[in-house]
Amino acid sequence: MEKKNIDWSNLSFGYIPTEARYVSNYKNGAWDEGTMTTDATVTISECAGVLQYCQACFEGLKAYTTEQGKTVVFRPDLNAKRMVDSAKRLEMPAFPEDRFLDAIDKVVAANVAYVPPYGSGATLYIRPYMFGSSPVIGVKPAEEYQFRTFVTPVGPYFKGGAKPITIKVSDFDRAAPNGTGHIKAGLNYAMSLHAIVTAHEEGFDENMYLDAATRTNVEETGGANFLFVTKDNTVVTPKSSSILPSITRRSLVYVAEHYLGLKVEERVVPFEEVKEFAECGLCGTAAVISPVGKVVDHGKEICFASGMEKMGPTIQKLYDTLTGIQMGRIEAPEGWIHEIPV
Ligand SMILES: *Cc1c(COP(=O)(O)O)cnc(C)c1O
């Protein structure tokens, strides 16, 4: 199919409506068969569960063109599974994993003209989500739900190379010990907006959240997990039941062990240890890895040896290997790359 006439490399991370999206409704205890629609708007009750009590969860993944010219998505089965976990925790009916995968195939195939070409750095961002659509005024789960998936083309995350960022140790908490930090609930983001706006006003790029119970251990940022590299080249990533299980982070851990032969530790990371690390990065679907050059703890600066000009050498290798796997330049582990039937 002819690609859209879009200046791919100058796209930002914003919403551009495309022609088609997928919708399925849950009513009387069952999901309907689902359909594609050109309608980019949602009409729901003024009293819908999502509007009153935030009953909503979402996923985020990307479609892109490989070196071989295939249209693919990366490990969508893990997004399908994670959305089931999110739904259960929010007392929403799970959207079946096979149907989630089918919805992604359908939406990407219908919008294949918006999948950026190989080498542009741009991708087609896919946003599956679901919400309580029926009226709820007494606090309880909704009875009806809507699952939707739309796509929007987004530009390269790093325009002109990945520059290390500066993050602050936040005085706000992201997630309670037995709360919802481990699921992809919109409500986790609603309550982090004040913290991120404040951090930006103070000149920081992101927040480092500590564990809410003791404020001594590193958790994650608002939307990305941490990877650290020790001076003797061990990859360390924080373990906590209130961290969102990033698919990018889980993939990078596999790449570190099986492609780069590195030792990996997933464990509690005391904030006190951060100054001992040589490299630091943030991982998530959007950027794969954003290098961190500096962490500021109430005026006290921790500067990683990798500096403020470029990624550290191990983070760079992880980045190059995972993006190589995604783009078809390096052989992928079985099942990681799903080709869209177009
Ligand atoms: C989505 C998300 C991530 C990144 O997860 P990926 O699956 O790698 O995109 C990390 N932290 C939070 C809080 C998130 O919501």
Q: Where are the alpha helices (DSSP H) in the chain?
A: 49-53, 76-89, 97-110, 186-190, 193-201, 247-258, 313-326
Give residues with Cβ within 8 angstroms of 81, minimum separation 6. Answer: 97
Give distance in angstroms: CA of 248 to centre of ligand 1.
Answer: 8
Give distance in angstroms: CA of 298 to centre of ligand 1.
Answer: 26
Which residue among the candidates 184, 231, 239, 300 is catalytic per the annotation?
184
Indicate if ligand 1 lies below 6 Å from the C-beta of 244: yes
Percent helix, strand and coil across the chain, each rounded to 5? Answer: 25, 30, 45
The SS3 assignment for 336 reads coil
What's phi and psi for 165, nearest 5 deg? Answer: -105, 165
Q: Which helix (H) or strand (E) holds 280?
A: strand 279-284
SS (H, E, C) 236-255: EEECCCCCCCCHHHHHHHHH
300 in catalytic set: no
Count of CB atoms situated within 10 Å of the CB of 248? 21
Indicate if ligand 1 lies below 6 Å from the C-beta of 184: yes
Domains 8-154 and 165-326 share a fold: no
Give the per-residue pLDDT at 69: 96
Q: Which residues of the chain have pLDDT under 70?
A: 160
Share of the chain above pLDDT 90, in %: 96
Give the per-residue pLDDT at 162: 84
* Per-residue DSSP letter, 112: G
Best probe residue, ligand 1, of 74, 244, 247, 252 (max atoms within 8 Å of C-beta): 244
Give distance in angstroms: CA of 244 to centre of ligand 1.
Answer: 6
Indicate if ligand 1 lies below 6 Å from the C-beta of 180: no
Whether domain 8-154 has CATH 2.40.128.20: no
Give the per-residue pLDDT at 342: 87
Q: Angle between the 76-89 and 97-110 helix axes, to the nearest 10 degrees?
A: 130
Give the per-residue pLDDT at 156: 82
Q: Are strands 300-303 and 235-238 parallel, antiparallel or unpaired?
A: unpaired
Give residues with Cβ within 8 angstroms of 315, minimum separation 6. Answer: 227, 229, 279, 280, 281, 289, 291, 306
Note the pTM of the prediction, 2 decimals: 0.97
Indicate if ligand 1 lies below 6 Å from the C-beta of 238: no
Which residue's CA is the closest to the ligand 1 atom numbered 12?
223
Give the per-residue pLDDT at 2: 86
Indicate if ligand 1 lies below 6 Å from the C-beta of 287: no
Give the per-residue pLDDT at 161: 73
Best probe residue, ligand 1, of 129, 192, 253, 285 (max atoms within 8 Å of C-beta): 285
Q: 49 and 133 in contact (C-beta within 8 Å)?
A: yes
Pick the CATH number of 165-326 from 3.40.50.1820, 3.20.10.10, 3.40.50.720, 2.40.30.10: 3.20.10.10
Domain boundaries, the chain: 8-154, 165-326
Which atom from ligand 1 is nearest to the alpha carbon of 248? 8
